Every structure is written in C-alpha cells, then in structure tokens.
Homo-oligomer: A and B are copies of this chain.
C-alpha cells in the first residue's frame, strides 16, 4: 500500500491533518529508547523547552499519547466539578459539550450562529446568572473558520468566582497567537496534526495552578487522563504511561524547525495566508462576479482555516471535487455547512506561495 499523499506534497490544504515535512516523518524511524531511562529525560527536556515556547508558558506542557479528544476529556474530567457552560459556535465546540456530558457533567450551552464568534459580554452575562464551575470554548472553530476572542473571554470568565476556562485550541496553538500564561487560561490543549504539522497521535496541554487544584479533588477521573499524574511525572521529565516514542522524535525534529522560524514569524505567516484568502474572495466577487464570502465576520477570522460561503447555485462538494481533479486537497463544508461552504486549511508548514497554487486551482473551478 503506497499512501497517495506522497504524490501531492505541497498540495494538501485540509484543515487538519496537515502535511508533515519529510525530515519530521523520517525522525520517527529512529531506534527506540526505553521510557524510564536517562535518554527519555534528555529528550523530554528538549521537548519541554520547545513546547513552552509554543504555548508561551512557564508551566510544564503535558504530552498525551492520544488525539486531542483525549485531552478535551482530560479538561472536563479534571477541571469541571458538576455544571459546565459550553460556548458553542460550530461543530467542535458542540462536541466539547458532548464530551462533558459523556463524562457525567451537567452542561448548558451558550450558542451563537455557526460562523460567528462568542462575545465576552454574553459570556459574562450568562455566568452571572448561573451556577457554573467551568466554561468550555473552542478557540479556532475548524468547522467554520471563526476565531473566538480568547483573551477577552478569559477575562470575562475570571470575573466570576471559581469558574475555570477550558480551551480547545486545536487549530490555534502553533498557528495563532496563544499566550497561555498572560491570558490566564486554565487549560489549553491542541493536537499534533494541526497547526504544529506533526503526525497524528499526540496531544499537548497546559494547566493553570487552580486547574491542578481542581484535579486533586476530582472524583472518577480515571488514570489515563489524570492531570495530577502527568504533572508528577513531568517533574521528573517523564510521562505517566508509556509514550509513543517515535512521535516524540518527530516532535523534537519539528520543534527545532518551529524554533528556527520563531513563533512570532509563524503566527504572522498564518495571518498572511488568511488575509490572502480574504483578498482572493473579494477579488473573485469584484472581478469575476462569483458571489463568494468569508463565513466568519471580519475581526473574528481564524489565521489557520478559511471557510468560504458559496453562492446558491454552487454546491460545496463539486468545488472540492473540481479542485481535487487539479491535484489539490481542500476541506469540504462541515456538517450542516457541507453543501454551502468549502474550507481551505492554511496551517502548519504551508507557505503563501503554496497557497497561491491552490487559489489558482479554485479560481479555475469557480469561473
């Protein structure tokens, strides 16, 4: 079985999983090391330096052998006591609410239309009237391309006593500015195969001190996602259970590449690509008469994924198929937006030059 992607490197614009650089792929093939010896500590030390830079934190960064869903579950199992307010503006934020319910929590949602962002004022109002102990939010809604104002939402949440903020920044961290410490996020997580451009199989999270206090008294939290165990083992530069060592090698390699670029440059590169998509949509409308629009409103657009709303006479899947014929993979509309939108994932290691190529293909399909 020869995976088809080898033929389309530089042409894969899904909003995750993202393309992975050949050097990073190759790093996985190194001979393995045990997970309790000195070699793993050396590796983990290197990973911590890089990950702290990515998350802009002084706290240890937890490394979970799981998809991001695992750490979403960890967030609610360790951080929520009984009543959760889930901010919902798309498919993945709705999923965060579902995960909390599946862990036995009582969950209310604060909903806005798919494609919109949450307003900190609405969060503030809702919290003042309820008896919530945790709020879940998705930073960059991969299903709609909307970016929530995370710093402001965090400020609003902290006005309520003893409410923690649990953040899924799966298509945020690594491509979008996330200042975990400065914004006082109680738990922020991402997965490896999104803006960090790694193979799938790892998830990363940072917990605040008060989140760790919550974890101490959490009941029925299990073992695999017990953040206390993660923190305890991280003190010793280890993981609570056997980690996916090959994926840690890939992470080390990619963190070196990320460090060489610099986080500020990395965020800027992603913003540039998002702005180019906006500009392209405007040009398509003005010069070609194709009634496209960016789904998310100005000022609330994710730098890592652009969701484009189509005119009524064009079907999303036909656009995706047309682009595929030209050798590019883009994302279809998600869930209820399937027929009315398509999505361009411009995250990870993509360059603005590569983005031009897919936009050209899209232009051919749409005109």
**Chain B residues within 8 Å of A68, by CB:** 241-242
**Chain B residues within 8 Å of A19, by CB:** 32
The residue in chain B whose Cβ has the minimal distance to the Cβ of A244 is: B201
| 9-residue interface stretch from A1-9, A79-87, A126-134, A139-147 | A1-9
**Chain B residues within 8 Å of A46, by CB:** 1
**Chain B residues within 8 Å of A77, by CB:** 222
Q: Mark A197-216, 1 if CB is under 8 A from B, else 0.
A: 00111100000000000000
The residue in chain B whose Cβ has the minimal distance to the Cβ of A26 is: B29
Quick one: given A1-B43, A1-B46, A224-B225, are A243 and B98 in contact (CB under 8 Å)?
A: no
Residue from A42, A67, A70, A222 whose CB has the most chain B CB atoms within 10 Å: A222
Q: Kindly state whether residue A102 has any CB partner on chain B within 8 Å.
A: yes
Interface SS of chain A: helix, strand, loop or mixed? Answer: loop
Tell me the bound Cα distance from A322 to B256 in angstroms: 37
Residues 1 to 47 of chain A near chain B (Cβ within 8 Å): 1, 3-6, 9, 14, 17, 19-20, 25-26, 28-35, 39, 42-43, 46
Q: Kindly state whether residue A66 has any CB partner on chain B within 8 Å.
A: yes
Interface range on chain A (Cβ under 8 Å from partner)? 35 or more
**Chain B residues within 8 Å of A224, by CB:** 66-67, 69-70, 73, 225
Contact, CB under 8 Å: A28 / B31: no
Which of these, B26, B32, B329, contacts A17 with CB under 8 Å? B32
Contact, CB under 8 Å: A199 / B5: no
Q: Kindly state whether residue A245 has any CB partner on chain B within 8 Å.
A: yes
Q: Kindly state whether residue A193 has any CB partner on chain B within 8 Å.
A: yes
- Measured CB to CB, the closest approach of chain B to A224, in angstroms, equals 5
**Chain B residues within 8 Å of A42, by CB:** 1
Q: Kindly state whether residue A226 has any CB partner on chain B within 8 Å.
A: yes
Q: Kindly state whether residue A104 has any CB partner on chain B within 8 Å.
A: yes
Contact, CB under 8 Å: B102 / A223: yes
List 6 other contacts, CB 8 Å, given A17-B32, A103-B220: A3-B32, A3-B33, A4-B33, A5-B31, A65-B244, A200-B243
Q: List 20 A-B contacts (CB under 8 A).
A: A1-B252, A4-B33, A17-B35, A20-B32, A25-B30, A25-B32, A35-B200, A67-B241, A67-B243, A70-B224, A70-B241, A73-B224, A77-B222, A102-B220, A104-B219, A199-B245, A200-B245, A201-B201, A201-B246, A222-B222
List the 3 closest A-B pairs by CB distance, nearest first. A201-B244, A104-B220, A6-B31
